[in-house]
Amino acid sequence: MMVIFAEATIAGLQHAMEQGECTSFQLVRYYMERIAAFDQQGPGINSVLELNPDALHLAEAADAQRRLGQVRGPLHGIPVLLKDNIQTADNMHTSAGSLALKDHYAGEDAFLVKKLREAGAIILGKANMTEWANFMADDMISGYSSRGGQVLNPYGADLYAGGSSTGSGASVAIDVTTVAVGTETSGSILSPAIHNSVVGIKPTLGRISRSGIIPLAHSQDTAGPMARTVADAAALLGVLCGYDPQDAATGSAAGLEEPDFTVHLDKDGLKGARIGVPRSEHLDPLTDEERELFESLLEEIRGAGAVIVDPVEIPSLEELSGHCSKVFYYEFKAGINAYLGRLPDGLPVHTLEELIAFNEAHADEALKYGQQVLIRSEATSGKLTEPEYLLHRLADLRLSRTEGIDCAMQRHQLDALLFPNTAGDEIAAKAGYPSIAVPGGYLRSGMPFGVMFTGGAFAEPVLIKLAYAFEQLRPRRKPPVLG
């Protein structure tokens, strides 16, 4: 059974289950054994915050449906871990890693969870995360939550573990789940994907509904898939997408629905593609070792038939780097007050002000790194009619879209921009545009290194094609050594 399950892909598992070589029940049991051995003991990666007590029952149900010929799609019987800010209406909590919400049981599934259940996927559990999606304290260590503790990078306990979907990325890396769902406001899917040597897709804002996800900033929040291969990430993305009348942003994808993103997997996808490299702004901060590795990857991409446009200037980058946007502070206060205000009376917090007070009252447990960011958010009016908010929001859009990514791509007729690691995650996040992070190798320290393909609005099909073709050039990802 180990031969089938170790580092297994969605397609491989489906084939094995169709042939009667394994069951979903056996797969869930395999992941439970690995969680015990490597996540909670051994190296103690600590990526899984909570296991779904119904996971084995769900697996048995999926197996029974398969025997009856009722397979619902490519994710039928496939385990999925969810970041702890994604609601599930079951026997698991939804806490965003906080002690204040440690007793919160959601009354309704997030829209994306409903989609997963409809597709026959098994909600395996909740992944640990950086508390409040890393919008709590100035010096918060990535991957730390007061409820769940610290997530470690499986490639080295002293290595950076990536943005706030840390548990989602690490869990995929150590093979305690087939795939996982993270969320991103700015870099929180892409960063842990790069630093845990997995694939992460941050989709266009509106591809995936945000309803039922604890908010940070509605102008940039999105969920997205994390997987060990581009094919698996594409398969999961197709299931997560869909129009949700409770989330107006999903209406922007009308006419652009993609029920199956795996049709864009093309091993020759780099041939003839025009890929731009914003060199001076994003390569200058690299170390000599990182720059050498990135240049070698560029040569491989060029050798696969891509046209590398180098350098490409993003006109707004200098102004954007000096633009201290206050959008997050306003949107967080407005969004979190609305979310907390709908929670049951028995919970201890229903406003941001009460959350801050709760943390202060439980400082020894809840404030290891402080809560300066929460306090700054509370200091705003939280009103989205404030001139400061409106002007900063419009500036974000102008600098990231009109004078940023759109301008660069149109000027050079590009299919995508290419960045080392997550160097361009901020501008893409502000624009609400898609990116896909793919493993690219390792530094001498053992730290994973990767590249990020970024495109314009709803360019996921193009990015998946490019990333898959890059992935197929040669094996790059190596599983972490867990002892």
Interacting residues of 438 by C-beta distance below 8 A, sequence separation 6+: 199, 230, 450, 451, 452, 453, 467, 470, 471
Q: What is the largest CA-CA distance in the chain?
A: 62
Query: Quick check: 198 and 439 in contact, CB under 8 A?
Result: yes
Q: Which of 406, 428, 407, 337 is nearest to 374 (CA)?
A: 337
Q: Residue 202 is which amino acid?
A: K
Tokens coding 476? 């790059």
Q: If you write DSSP's letter for every residue of 139-201 in order, what string do you get? A: TPPTTEETTTEEPPPTT-TTS---SS-HHHHHHHHTTSSSEEEEEESSSTTHHHHHHTT-EEE
CA–CA separation, 105 vs 255, rounded Å? 35
Residue 405 CB neighbours (<10 A): 27
CA–CA separation, 25 vs 138, rounded Å? 43
Residue 48 CB neighbours (<10 A): 28
Task: Give SS3 for 30.
Answer: helix
Q: Is 287 exposed, middle or buried (0-12, 13-18, 19+ CB in 10 A)?
A: exposed
CA–CA separation, 166 vs 47, rounded Å? 7
Tokens coding 471? 């992935």
Sheet of strand 274-276: strand arrangement:
48-51, 122-127, 79-83, 179-184, 222-227, 199-202, 435-442, 448-454, 416-420, 274-276, 307-309
* Positions marked catalytic: 83, 164, 188
Q: Is 68 exposed, middle or buried (0-12, 13-18, 19+ CB in 10 A)?
A: exposed
CA–CA separation, 34 vs 205, rounded Å? 34
